[in-house]
Amino acid sequence: MEKLGMKVITGVNCVTIKKSKTVTFVLSKPDVFKSSHSETYVIIGEIKFEDLNTELQTQAEQFKAPGPSRVNSMGEPSVAAVQDDEEVDETGVDKKDVELVMMQASVSRSGAVEALKAADGDIVSAIMELTNYVLEGGVVS
């Protein structure tokens, strides 16, 4: 590279090339050369691909809320405490609502049905009860 008139740039620890909002290429400890006649650089090193979506998703899983408690905020057994193997009568509740509550609150089908019945079919109230959020003055605490 020096025969081509390029000078060695020292002290470069990392080079990051951003391809899009979520995709970057990283070169750790690269060899960097600069043309003496223009702002042209040659970077030589091992490229590592970083997908920020995957990285952010991994970080988000670390901070994921714990599963629903078996005791609600009043110290009483939560609706989620219903046994998984119990048969629950699903009359009066929509199957889509049950599935949504199951997914959002991470509970069994029987727990979701019981919560929906206790909340008179109100999905939000059922999910909040199962995840032990308490509304006080309109603010989730």
Residues 49 and 88 in one domain: no
Alpha-carbon span 122 to 139, nearest angstrom: 18
Residue 19 has pLDDT above 60, yes or no: yes
Residues 92 and 42 in one domain: no
* Residue 86 or residue 84, greater confidence: 86
pLDDT single digits (tens) 46-64: 988 876 666 666 666 666 5
Residues 86 and 57 in one domain: no
The answer to whether residue 43 sits within a structural domain is: yes
Residues 84 and 55 in one domain: no
| Tokens standing for residue 45 | 């090193």
The answer to whether residue 70 sits within a structural domain is: no
Q: What is the CATH classification number for the domain harbouring 31?
A: 2.20.70.30
Residue 140 has pLDDT above 60, yes or no: no
The answer to whether residue 73 sits within a structural domain is: no
Burial 49-82 (b: 16+ CB within 10 A, else e): eeeeeeeeeeeeeeeeeeebeeebeeeeebbbeb
Residues 38 and 85 in one domain: no
End-to-end CA distance of the chain: 62
The answer to whether residue 67 sits within a structural domain is: no
The answer to whether residue 116 sits within a structural domain is: yes
What HEC string does 109-139 produce? HHHHHHHHHHCCCCHHHHHHHHCCCCEECCE
Residues of the domain holding 49: 2-62
| Tokens standing for residue 22 | 């979520």
The answer to whether residue 74 sits within a structural domain is: no
The answer to whether residue 107 sits within a structural domain is: yes
* Residue 35 or residue 21, greater confidence: 35
The answer to whether residue 71 sits within a structural domain is: no
- Rounded to 10 degrees, the C-alpha dihedral 87/91/94/97 comes to -40
Say if CB 80 and CB 66 are below 8 A apart. Answer: no
Across all residues in the chain, what is the average pLDDT? 75
